[in-house]
Chain A
Amino acid sequence: MEIFGIPTQALFGQLLIGLINGAFYAMLSLGLAVIFGLLNIINFTHGAQYMMGAFCAWFLLERTGIGYWWALIIVPIVVGITGVVIERTMLARLYKLDHLYGLLLTFGLALIIQGVFTNAYGSSGQPYRLPQEFVGAYNLGFMFLPKYRAWVIVLSLVVCLGTWFVIERTKLGSYLRAATENPTLVQAFGVNVPRMITLTYGFGVGLAALAGVMAAPIYQVSPQMGANLIIVVFAVVVIGGMGSIMGAILTGFGLGVMEGLTKVFYAEASNTVIFVIMVIVLLVKPAGLFGRER
């Protein structure tokens, strides 16, 4: 069977890869959007924290025998705590300054973290064994869907929509949205805004680490894995619009699929298509597809 002269196997295969990439784009850009919304800081360390998540999972499995399922819970907490420490000791000093300072600090931190991991583990990747439960694939009739890839898409959808729900539909989320608009006033109502900011950064970092754990069995666990991904994720955030939660999710998945389809129809452009879209969006709608003009 063929569609536009492309075998359906290849089409759906690339679509699936696109969705998987999109799942990671969505989770990472979601964390960036949440952090930017409240802290006004573009967290360049995000890629390194994603990589730390993957390494932390690998380390747990190799050194202590703690497997994938526990890693899904332990790793975001551990890496999230390192985020809390970074926020308390460094970022908290920068809020009154220009965005640029936060960007420089987090960029520097990313380089340091990547450097330390490269020093310790070299730049070649470490494989992470797929949990036994996920070996195999579902036969969907028109294609085979590896079990683990299906799981990644489902889990990332659950996490993204769960985060969206908490922010847009709960009392806690209303504090967060209000503090994004006017932190001084929210604090004057009796909310401990500095603590909320710290926990929000920790949460965003934890989200990156969770994506890292999920990525470990698919990609090689390597010190550069975050640096390669984060540039694309920043393009996703620019396209979606900084500070929009649903925008980050939809754009993440959408661009992943777009990238996958480009691979089918014109493979040479697949690495650049997102940046071409970014340029077009910036020309037409500078605040991003879902962003509000400030």
Chain B
Amino acid sequence: MPEAATQPAHDARATGDAALLRVRGLRAWYGESHILHGVDFEVRRGEVVTLLGRNGAGKTTTLRAIMGMVPRREGSIVFDGEETIALPSNRIARLGIAYCPEERGIFSSLSVFENLLLPPVVRPGGLGIDAIYDLFPNLRERRASQGTKLSGGEQQMLAIGRILRTGARLLLLDEPTEGLAPVIVQQIGRTIAHLKTEGFTILLVEQNFRFAATVADRHYVIEHGRVADMIPNTELATKMDKLHEYLGV
């Protein structure tokens, strides 16, 4: 590889270190249906990156494939220098990736407090319970309630709050603003900005690119199970027409 040979060694190491998550040629299947056809992208340490795209483009499947939650996947997913494509999802979580599903996944047989404590701590450095309550004061008031008795917004806060405890450094958030009132969306936005300053790396799936533009550094557009484009947030304004075309809005 002549290119690599001409590059100074420390540069190669620097880029290697910068990408916390590197996805190459990711393909995934649900039974007979082939959803992802070779997804390539990366997320650098400390970045907030969104996956944009129409319904059914493969955004959620990409997150679930990273997490090891699809029945079959191929390609390469390197997290923090470690190949995870062959690992079961519990081992992937233990490396320091946490997942907040689109449907929020709040457990009805657990109280709010039990839901919050459910994900095991995988490494040191996670937020304490009080820090999470400070981010989402509603959860403190409703700690004894049944998990699914919360409002949609509170459930979303609980779903995000409980993965902040675990010490995971990469958060996969699937449509955290879906179906929520504007004031709650703003609160989620502030939370994501705050988490970024705390050093979390965040990969976000969004339909709402206006929201995405307020929090993200870069956007990948997913189409038909592939990455169609990458748009830095600074260029979003100039590429708005193209984005509208991608998203069909």
Judged by a CB distance under 8 angstroms, whether A189 is at the interface is yes
Q: Which of chain A's residues have a CB closer than 8 A to the CB of B120?
A: 189-191
Also in contact, A178 and B68, with CB within 8 A (given A185-B101, A192-B90): no
B40-48, B105-113, B181-189 - the one binding chain A:
B105-113
Judged by a CB distance under 8 angstroms, whether B18 is at the interface is no
A43-51, A111-119, A169-177 - the one binding chain B:
A169-177
Contact call B93/A189, Cβ cutoff below 8 A: yes
The closest CB in chain B to the CB of A96 belongs to B71
Q: Which of chain B's residues have a CB closer than 8 A to the CB of A184?
A: 69, 89
Q: Which of chain A's residues have a CB closer than 8 A to the CB of B69?
A: 184-185, 187-188
Q: Which of chain A's residues have a CB closer than 8 A to the CB of B94?
A: 190
What's the nearest-Cβ distance from chain A to residue B64, in Å? 8
Judged by a CB distance under 8 angstroms, whether B122 is at the interface is yes
Contact call B110/A188, Cβ cutoff below 8 A: no
Judged by a CB distance under 8 angstroms, whether B117 is at the interface is yes
Also in contact, A181 and B107, with CB within 8 A (given A189-B98, A189-B119, A191-B120): yes
What's the nearest-Cβ distance from chain B to residue A10, in Å? 43
Interface string of B87-98 (1 = CB under 8 A from A): 011101110001
Judged by a CB distance under 8 angstroms, whether B178 is at the interface is no
**How many residues from A make CB contacts under 8 Å with B?**
19
Q: Which of chain A's residues have a CB closer than 8 A to the CB of B90?
A: 187-193
Interface string of A159-200 (1 = CB under 8 A from B): 000000000000100110110111011111111111000000
Judged by a CB distance under 8 angstroms, whether B86 is at the interface is no
Q: How far is the CA of A254 from the CA of B119 in the complex (A)?
A: 37
Contact call B93/A188, Cβ cutoff below 8 A: yes
The closest CB in chain A to the CB of B109 belongs to A177
Those of B113-163 within 8 Å (CB) of chain A: 114, 117-120, 122, 163
Contact call A187/B89, Cβ cutoff below 8 A: yes
What's the nearest-Cβ distance from chain B to residue A290, in Å? 13
Pick from B98, B99, B109: contact of A181, CB below 8 A.
B109
Interface string of A108-146 (1 = CB under 8 A from B): 000000000000000000000000000000000000000
Q: Which of chain A's residues have a CB closer than 8 A to the CB of B109?
A: 177-178, 180-181
Q: How far is the CA of A174 from the CA of B93 in the complex (A)?
A: 18
The closest CB in chain A to the CB of B91 belongs to A190
Also in contact, A174 and B119, with CB within 8 A (given A187-B89, A188-B69, A190-B93): no
What's the nearest-Cβ distance from chain B to residue A7, in Å? 47
Q: Which of chain A's residues have a CB closer than 8 A to the CB of B122?
A: 190
Q: Which of chain A's residues have a CB closer than 8 A to the CB of B61?
A: none
Q: How far is the CA of A182 from the CA of B163 in the complex (A)?
A: 16
Q: How far is the CA of A182 from the CA of B119 in the complex (A)?
A: 13
Also in contact, A175 and B118, with CB within 8 A (given A185-B101, A190-B93): yes
Those of A185-224 within 8 Å (CB) of chain B: 185-194
Q: Which of chain A's residues have a CB closer than 8 A to the CB of B114?
A: 174
Q: Which of chain A's residues have a CB closer than 8 A to the CB of B68?
A: 188
Q: Which of chain B's residues have a CB closer than 8 A to the CB of A189?
A: 90, 93, 98-99, 118-120, 163, 166
Contact call B105/A174, Cβ cutoff below 8 A: no
Judged by a CB distance under 8 angstroms, whether B170 is at the interface is no
The closest CB in chain B to the CB of A188 belongs to B89
What's the nearest-Cβ distance from chain B to residue A163, in Å? 16
Judged by a CB distance under 8 angstroms, whether B67 is at the interface is yes
Pick from A171, A186, A188, A193: contact of B67, CB below 8 A.
A188
Q: Which of chain A's residues have a CB closer than 8 A to the CB of B107?
A: 177-178, 181-182
The closest CB in chain A to the CB of B168 belongs to A190
Contact call A174/B118, Cβ cutoff below 8 A: yes
Q: Which of chain B's residues have a CB closer than 8 A to the CB of A188?
A: 67-69, 89-90, 92-93, 99
Contact call B110/A185, Cβ cutoff below 8 A: no
Q: Which of chain A's residues have a CB closer than 8 A to the CB of B92?
A: 188
Q: Which of chain A's residues have a CB closer than 8 A to the CB of B93?
A: 187-190
| A184-B69, A189-B98 given; 11 more Cβ-contact pairs under 8 Å | A174-B110, A177-B109, A178-B110, A181-B108, A188-B99, A189-B93, A189-B118, A189-B119, A190-B90, A190-B120, A193-B90
Chain A interface (Cβ < 8 Å from any Cβ of B): 171, 174-175, 177-178, 180-182, 184-194
Chain B interface (Cβ < 8 Å from any Cβ of A): 67-69, 88-90, 92-94, 98-99, 101, 105, 107-110, 114, 117-120, 122, 163, 166
In the assembled complex, 6 residue pairs joining A and B whose CB atoms fall closer than 8 Å, in A order, are A185-B101, A187-B93, A190-B93, A190-B120, A191-B90, A193-B90
